[in-house]
Structure 1
Amino acid sequence: MAENNLDQQMETKIEEQKQNQDNKKTKYNKKFKKNKQEQEQKQNQSEHQGGEQEDNSKGLKIYPHIVDQKFINLIDFDQLDKLFNSEIEKDQQEAVIYLKAFIKEQKPTLINLFDIFDHYFNKEENKGLLEKTVLRMFKILKCLSTLQANSIIYKSYFCLIQQNSVKIPEENQQFMTEISQAWKYVHTDSLNTFLTIFDIASQIKKEDVSDEIKDLIVLQKYSEAVKIISVFSNFTSELAPLLINSLTTNKDASKAADLIKQFKLNPNQFPEVEIRLKKMSLRYNLRTYSWEFVAELFREQKDILGYAVEDLLFNKQYNEAYSVLKSDDQIIKYVHKKESLQALNDPSIKFKVLPNRLYTKDYFSPQSENIGQEPEGTHLNLSKDFGITRDKVFFINDVKSKDFEFAKKELESAKQIGLDGEFRPAVTKLDNNSQSLALLQLATQNYCFLFDPMALKNEKEYEILQQNIFQNPNILKIGHTISGDISMVASQLNGQLNFKCSLDLAKLHKSKNPEQKQSSLSFIAKFQLGKGLCKGEQTSNWSQRPLREAQIHYGALDAYISIALYNKYIQLYGEKDLSQFFERI
């Protein structure tokens, strides 16, 4: 029981952390939007009054600006002579070391360093030297790379070349071959600029890029490899698998999955990554939840449950392992470890099938209370606290049923509707079925309706009902962080939805209680109604059919709580005051 209580506390903590992250994301988006507007204003001013701008799409560009003479006066130009004019490698290396130290100490901007280089190459004694450095670029770039020079040195140098429109003279075209080999010495942040300035991307061979990726993999410089693959996008399908396959370990499988998604590759090409991710997902859930929860969550994933049996046996949780195994006759096919098979056939181990409490103690009430994890009355209960008994909750998967007709009548005539949705569980990052809507919950003052989107998909009557409800400005739709719910509903209708008249409980709570740091739905419910929501079913298997009674209670309550809170706010502030929080469109 103590372990179960800990699981519940962890779940609540996870929810609160997620809410805090959502709050931070909202603040960040507002700040980002403000900063973007300020930057646009400064950019407009700089184009008229003198300013600066960086454009990475086709190289770097420096616009008219006020030169900071302070930084120019700080530089030792003898060191630049060594970098750009000396034939002695030791001198060049000394110059790079000096520049790195200068950048670390003085922290010049790209513009500062550009001005320093520009001043150097425009000195009377250095006229024409810039063109010569371009012809010596291979040697210079190799030195910069060997000593791991700061990316700002590359950027400012290339910027100067670009601004001066320096080209390789026709009589020196033999140097182009050398320059086309110099790309591997260019800092990855400046590689695209380098290729653009000299227009040599088409000259780079896939084999050379592949060799560079392999070298970076050996050195475990994965982020640099990703940048190079992104630059040479025409080679992505051949190069990305090199990197992804190298990351197929328990430690890096998540990174590999991110790259598969980033480069839009077919996950089926990387079965080993998927296997690793499944094992990671399983072990996380075994650490976080009970074996009963795991058995249900992955009940369609027999291979994952095979791993579960192996892990539970390894941890000497024999009865739990045996109970998972006996939940489906197909699971034994996926138990492969020799030690696990030996344990299952060990006569000294007395295996016992444990009852899965999610099914043996499944009632229309909070899950944690059903299974004895918490005392009865700990959380809000639809029947006891709001009078919404089981017969007032309808699960609808057929548009031709009487329940659908009743729901249509009640919802289209309602003045307020509570809104929420549940999603298919995400087994791994590469699960294409994850995060698709598995249940749409709508509540009125007296009833709750749970629609099955998987069964009702493409049913015209269902689509029309949603449009009649969500596009009706006379029906107030209430939810928590309702913008997500609006997107959820719109996705069902392929974006064809003009959502009208809504109330966001999170925004309302923050406005009325600015001193409160938390604003999760469960917190708001406890703050206003005295008890919170049981979150035991939050990440349960919502794609299974039939749903358990505790799931039905959870889903219905998640929608009805919006109605209950709205009624509470009416008592506290009055309908006129609340109307200012309605979002009409």
Structure 2
Amino acid sequence: MELDPAFGTNIHLPPEEAAGYLKKSQLATKPEEERLFLHLDHFLSDFFETSPSDAISLLLTLLFQFADSKLHEHMSRTIITFIQRKIKEKKIIPANIEVFQPEYNLWRFIERTQLKRYIETFQVQIDQDDLLDFASEMWVKNRLDDSVQTAAEFGLSAALNDNFDVIKTLISKTRFDLIERFVKNDLDLVHQALRLIPVTEFKVGAKLIFQHRLNSLDYPEIHKRATEASIRYSIDFDKICIYQLIEITYKNPEAISLITEHLAKQNPKKKMWAVKIASFLYRKFEYIKIDKGLERKLQKTPQRDCKGLPVVFAPLDPSVELFLDIPRERVIFVDRVEQLNDIKWYGDYAGLDSEWKSNILRFDDNKPAILQIALDDVIYIFDLFELNSVPEFNELLERLFQSDIIKLGVSFDGDSNNMKRHYPQLLSFSKDMKNYIDICKAYGKIFKKSPGGLAGACELLLGKPLSKFEQMSNWENRPLRESQVHYAALDAYIQIVLWKKMQTETSTPLSSFLNNKKKIYKGDPSCEYCSSKLHPTTSCPYGNRCKICFHHGHNPNNCPN
């Protein structure tokens, strides 16, 4: 990259001396940002007092010295932030700064990921043709990342693709990471990329389909490959038992067929249980379509008697896992408008949670099915499918969310975002919640480490783990199984128990926990078998879980459930 010959003619310090001038400030290494700001303040304070335009010119010229350095992005981000601070501090109007004018071409020194921020922050006017010429120049010089970043940021991807057949070139170079960036927000380019991406790279195509909310069935080969991969992962690796997988997918003929086929392919000498379950599924669901050879194999294989998922109001293993200590009749399922009139919010605390059917398949995007709200002596489970469009329900939630009652949750902002996306009519989720405390962040603030999640916090504070078995279940069941009701109720209620316990462990004022966004990531490792925080995997007293029923203590071939 070459400097514009006209640049710097009015700067007190010539641009070519910029690097030497600031060498003393140790900018050749990557210091902490605040320390770097102190250096810049020290060396440039006089410039900003007498000639802010000169000071800004000097800083931007400095970026030229880092154009081919690994520090370019860091320096661009840091210097832009520093200039922002100074403009605000000195009340400088960007339009009055000469070097921000288009003829200086200083934007060419800015690292590509920071360019849009630079233009918007300092109100720099750049012609679209100049930006396209720059992106084209970078492409010709084989600086693909810079070219793609510039084109994508400024809506020039289609024009650049017309000039250079960018998508085909990126595919030939296996730069699928750049394709995702290049086609962003341009559906025509997304469709073009999906038609050109080879089937062997179905994961790339699946990601594009999911990100842009497209119908995966329009790309049948990608859909099939991605669905097969999801099923294989769920059976072979994921922490979900076969019973749950069947419950979640039984209404999907394609998924059940793929599950049956994958189980049927297992070696009978090692996984006879899998082949027997495949035989059971083949006989139970008439719509299953699998390979003819596997059909003959299953016709000769005795089927396994499948007892299904638990139906009692209890955790999976009541002897070692937390049990809800509120009577069953105080857990109320709400699915009718007339029930809403009887609900009153009271007490000091409310535990919040929501559940949705597990997104097992690659293109699943299941809506939240229930919302749980626990008070001290009653727990409500709201049916979102029935109530999401009821104004009285939204008003009821609004009264709670904006009340003085302390709301307790674990990453409930994620639940809220999910609600806003699927149920935009529930406006109560669009407002900032008043008096919200995140249980895991509160734990981190008190004990200076992460509990790893709600189950970890329960084990560390209450001595027993919280069963997470039903988390991966079909929350669209109506009615819910009793074990699902127990899980849903306990997940919300236990947060009140945990918060009361934590209050006995700290003198930190309540106000410092409210709407705290700071997260502590470091924590003790979890046991790979039972997720316990109290012992390592090597000394787990339970051992691995059964893939059929998820209980400890036996392998699938000997599963009694």
Q: Is 1:310 the counterpart of 2:252 in the alignment?
A: no
Matched with 1:56 is none
Shift in alpha-carbon separation, 1:465–1:584, aligned structure 2, 3 A: farther
1:366 aligned partner: 315
Alignment match, 2:413: 483
Distance 2:180 2:223 in 1: 20
Equivalence for 1:398:
336
**Which residue among 185, 189, 192 is the counterpart of 1:236?**
189
- Structure-2 change in CA distance of 1:451 and 1:38 (3 Å): farther
Aligned to 1:355: 306
The 1:549/1:183 distance shift into structure 2, 3 A limit, reads: same
229, 254, 277: which is aligned to 1:320?
277
1:437 equivalent in alignment to 2:368: yes
> In the TM superposition, what is the alpha-carbon distance from 1:558 to its structure 2 partner?
0.3
Distance in 1, Cα, partners of 2:490 & 2:225: 36
Partner of 1:550: 483
**Could you tell me how far 1:422 is from its partner in structure 2?**
1.0
Measure the CA separation in 1 of the matches of 2:150 and 2:511.
Answer: 57
Other structure's SS at 1:477 match: strand
Going from structure 1 to structure 2, the CA distance change for 1:455 and 1:67 (only over 3 Å counts) comes to closer
Contact preservation (8 Å) 2:440, 2:450: no
Contact 1:525 1:565 in 2 (8 A): yes
Cα distance, 1:425–1:283 mapped onto 2, change above 3 Å: same
- Letter matched to residue 290 of structure 2: H
Change (3 A) 1:466 1:353: same
Residues 107 and 467 of structure 1: CA distance in aligned 2, closer, same or farther (over 3 Å): closer
Q: Match for residue 269 of structure 1?
A: 218
Write the distance in 2 (CA, Å) between the matches of 1:486 and 1:111.
33
Deviations 1:499-521 (A, max 9, x none): 2122222222112212x343421
User: What aligned pairs does 1:211-360 form with structure 2 within 5 A after superposition?
Assistant: 213-226=167-180, 229=183, 236-237=189-190, 239-244=192-197, 246=198, 248-249=199-200, 252-262=201-211, 265-287=214-236, 288=238, 289-315=240-266, 316=268, 317-327=274-284, 329=285, 332-346=286-300, 349=301, 351-358=302-309
Structure 1 residue 420 displacement after superposition: 0.9
Q: CA deviation at 1:454?
A: 1.0
| Shift, 1:426, TM fit | 1.1
Q: Does 1:528 align with 2:461?
A: yes
CA distance in 1, matches of 2:151, 2:417: 41
Q: In structure 1, what is the equivalent of residue 55 of structure 2?
A: 50
Instruction: Identify if the C-alpha distance between structure 1 residues 229 and 519 changes in structure 2 by more than 3 Å, giving closer, same or farther.
Output: closer
Cα deviation for residue 229 of structure 1 reads 4.7
Q: How does 1:103-122 map to 2 (within 5 A)?
A: none
Pairwise mapping of residues 25-174 of structure 1 onto structure 2 (< 5 A)? Answer: 48=53, 50=55, 63-65=60-62
CA-atom RMSD in angstroms:
4.5
Q: Contact between 1:482 and 1:503, CA under 8 Å: does it hold in 2?
A: no
Amino-acid identity (%): 24
Partner of 1:133: none
Q: What residue number does 1:450 align with? A: 381
Unaligned regions of 5+ residues in structure 2, if any? 1-31, 76-110, 112-125, 269-273, 518-561
* Paired letter, 1:454: F
CA distance in 1, matches of 2:438, 2:136: 57
Distance 1:363 1:49 in 2: 75
Q: Name the TM-score, length of structure 2 as normaliser.
A: 0.63
Give the conservation status (yes or no) of the 8 Å contact 1:183–1:194: no
The question of 1:582 aligning with 2:514 is answered yes
Equivalent-residue separation in structure 2 for 1:67 and 1:185 (angstroms): 18
Whether 1:380 and 2:336 are equivalent positions in the alignment is no
8 Å Cα contact 2:161/2:167 also seen in 1: no
Residue pair 1:278, 1:427 contacting (<8 A) in 2 also: no
> What CA deviation, in whole Å up to 9, does each residue of 1:330-358 have, x standing for no partner?
xx433231221121333xx3x13412331
What CA distance in whole angstroms lies between the structure 1 residues aligned with 2:335 and 2:399? 19
Q: How many residues align?
A: 415
CA displacement at 1:552 relative to structure 2: 0.8
CA distance in 2, matches of 1:234, 1:426: 24
Measure the CA separation in 2 of the matches of 1:571 and 1:543.
38
Deviations along 1:99-134, whole A, 9 cap, x unmatched?
A: 9xxx7xx9796999xxxxxxxxxxxxxxxxxxxxxx
| 1:52–1:64 contact (8 Å) kept in structure 2 | yes
Q: State the SS of the aligned residue for 2:472.
A: coil
Deviation at 1:441, TM superposition (A): 0.5
Separation in 2 of the partners of 1:195 and 1:548?
52
1:291–1:324 Cα contact (<8 Å) kept: no
Q: Does 2:470 correspond to 1:470?
A: no
User: Distance in 2 between the 1:496 and 1:200 partners?
Assistant: 33
CA distance change for structure 1 residues 512 and 194 in 2, over 3 Å: closer, same or farther?
Answer: closer
Is contact 1:295–1:324 with CA below 8 Å preserved after alignment? no
Question: Per the alignment, do residues 111 and 441 of structure 1 end up closer, same or farther by CA in structure 2, a change over 3 Å counting?
Answer: closer
Q: Which residue of the partner structure matches residue 92 of structure 2?
A: none
Quote the residue 1:4 is aligned against. Answer: none
Give, in angstroms, the shift of residue 554 of structure 1. 0.6
Which of 423, 437, 447 aligns to 1:503? It is 437
Equivalent residue letter for 1:443 = A
Unaligned runs of at least 5 residues, structure 1: 1-33, 54-61, 72-98, 113-151, 153-164, 169-176, 370-375
- Tell me the distance in 1 between the aligned counterparts of 2:221 and 2:386: 33
- In structure 2, the partner of 1:127 is none
3-state SS, counterpart of residue 499 of structure 1: coil
Q: Are 1:476 and 1:503, in contact at CA under 8 Å, matched by a contact in 2?
A: yes
Deviation, 1:39, is 7.8
* Alpha-carbon distance change, 237 to 40 in structure 1, aligned in 2, over 3 angstroms: farther
Amino acid at match of 2:396: L
Does the alignment pair 1:413 with 2:367? no
CA distance in 2, matches of 1:525, 1:190: 48
| Deviation digits for residues 534-566 of structure 1 (CA, Å, limit 9, x no counterpart) | 111122111222211111111000000011113
Report deviation, 1:577: 4.3
**1:389 corresponding residue in structure 2:** 327
* Separation of aligned partners in 1, 2:262 and 2:173: 33
Secondary structure of 2:245 counterpart: helix
Q: Secondary structure at the residue paired with 1:582? A: coil
CA distance in 1: counterparts of 2:227 and 2:157, whole angstroms: 39
Per the alignment, residue 143 of structure 2 pairs with 187
Residue deviations 1:256-276 (CA, integer Å, cap 9, x gap): 122234566543321222222
Whether contact under 8 Å (1:366, 1:534) holds in the other structure is yes
Cα distance in 1 for residues equivalent to 2:161 and 2:469: 55
